[in-house]
């Protein structure tokens, strides 16, 4: 009896897969893990967020620099405001008086300097032929090169062309000046609010932190005020001393343009680390050299002597409680700040480095150092005594050998 044929319900593709020995894929293997889509979405969103943050930073870069500058200025001005506030002044009034006083002092100095500089520039123009004759004499003597009248006339003609180009761009220069004034006013406004509302701002910031974090933030803030204010006031005092003594020496030597050269010497020598004194001395030395080579030589001797007096007498007493940076660290900080944001960055780099150094030092644990030849510091007197002791030891050893060899 024939068996009835049962219709097959197996899918042909499944049958082919079974015949090939692979079998159907299990649902667990064919399904994508659920965390992969979330990871892809997170990576895409993170990329968009980073791009948006970078674009926003580029757009607001100038404003961020103004805020950082205002923050450092508030650190520098807060000690004076706190001193007035402890004597009964309202904090807003004290802040306004300090800022206006600093601005008036700067404008007064500028007002005194401008007529003096204009007057002495006129004298320089009148004395220019004689200075060129002296320069021609020295160029022939030292470099065997003669400055002809044609070269001088060409240089003056080029200078006139440059002046005409500048005059044709008066509108752009005026707009740039207005932009600088706007920046200064914006920085001063931020500085005023940061100093006048300093306690309220710090209370608002600390209200979202735990007590331990509050103490850490306040300690960092206090270090920043101490280091920045001390840096600014100590540099200004050292600049005043340098300018005063430089003015006296320049007047004694009879070097022209003594006042602007002395102010240049004082400011540049103190606010440019390590090499500031030598950069500042280059301009007075050049003017003195064109006036009288002997005056230039005496001024060079003065610069070298005063630098030692400042390093070992003035600076340790004035900066003992303020900013203490290794010269290499100060020089690197100024270069880094200048690379990031020009003159403003170089000016703010030193107090920033001092603040970072003080903060790191407060959290570091110091250990006793192993004494070896690589870590032992030898003072000059100790070194001389050590060399003298070594000579005596060699002499005694030589005498013993002679005594032992004698019959």
Q: Find all residues with CB under 8 Å of 146, minimum gap 6, and list them.
A: 136, 139, 140
Alpha-carbon distance of 267 to 113, in angstroms, equals: 14
pLDDT tens-place string over residues 229-274: 777 778 888 888 888 999 999 999 888 778 878 888 888 888 776 6
Q: Which residue has the tokens 């005026």?
A: 174
Alpha-carbon distance of 276 to 290, in angstroms, equals: 22
pLDDT tens-place string over residues 263-311: 888 888 887 766 778 888 888 888 888 778 888 899 999 998 988 888 7
Please report, for the chain, the start and end positions of each structural domain, with discontinuous segments joined by +: 63-119+182-208, 209-362
pLDDT tens-place string over residues 19-58: 545 555 455 555 777 788 888 889 999 999 999 999 998 8
* Sequence-ordered alpha helix ranges (H) in 31-90: 35-59, 61-85
Choose the weakest-confidence range: 64-78, 157-171, 194-208, 378-392: 157-171
Neighbours of 260 (CB within 10 A): 17
pLDDT of residue 281: 87
């Amino acid at each position: 009896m024939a068996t009835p044929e049962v219709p097959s319900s197996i899918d042909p593709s499944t049958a082919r897969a079974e015949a090939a020995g692979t079998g159907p894929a299990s649902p667990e293997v064919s399904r994508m893990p659920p965390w992969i889509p979330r990871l892809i979405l997170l990576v895409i969103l993170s990329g968009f967020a980073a791009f948006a943050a970078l674009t926003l930073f580029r757009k607001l870069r100038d404003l961020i620099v103004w805020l950082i500058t205002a923050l450092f200025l508030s650190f520098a001005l807060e000690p004076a405001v706190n001193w007035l506030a402890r004597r009964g002044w309202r904090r807003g009034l004290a802040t306004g008086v300090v800022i206006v006083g600093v601005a008036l002092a700067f404008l007064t100095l500028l007002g005194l300097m401008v007529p003096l500089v204009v007057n002495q520039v006129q004298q320089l123009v009148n004395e220019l032929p004689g200075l060129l004759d002296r320069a021609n004499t020295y160029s022939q003597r030292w470099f065997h090169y003669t400055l002809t009248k044609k070269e001088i006339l060409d240089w003056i003609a080029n200078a006139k062309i440059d002046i005409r180009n500048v005059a044709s761009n008066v509108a752009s220069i005026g707009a740039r000046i207005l932009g600088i004034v706007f920046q200064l006013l914006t920085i001063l406004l931020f500085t005023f609010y940061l100093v006048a509302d300093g306690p309220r701002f710090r209370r608002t910031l600390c209200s979202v932190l735990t007590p331990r974090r509050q103490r850490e933030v306040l300690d960092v803030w206090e270090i920043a005020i101490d280091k920045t204010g001390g840096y600014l006031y100590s540099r200004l005092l050292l600049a005043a001393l340098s300018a005063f003594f430089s003015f006296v020496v320049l007047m004694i030597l009879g070097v022209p343009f003594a006042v602007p050269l002395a102010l240049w010497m004082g400011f540049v020598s103190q606010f440019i680390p390590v090499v500031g004194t030598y950069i500042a001395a280059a301009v007075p030395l050049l003017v003195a050299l064109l006036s009288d080579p002997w005056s230039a030589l005496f001024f060079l001797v003065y610069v070298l002597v005063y630098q030692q007096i400042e390093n070992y007498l003035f600076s340790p007493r004035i900066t003992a409680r303020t900013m203490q940076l290794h010269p290499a660290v100060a020089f690197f900080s100024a270069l880094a700040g200048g690379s990031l944001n020009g003159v403003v960055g170089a000016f703010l780099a030193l107090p920033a480095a001092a603040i970072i150094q003080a903060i790191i030092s407060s959290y570091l644990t110091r250990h006793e150092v192993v004494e070896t030849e690589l870590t032992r510091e030898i003072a000059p007197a100790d070194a001389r005594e050590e060399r003298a002791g070594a000579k005596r030891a060699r002499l005694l050893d030589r005498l013993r050998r002679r005594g032992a060899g004698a019959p």
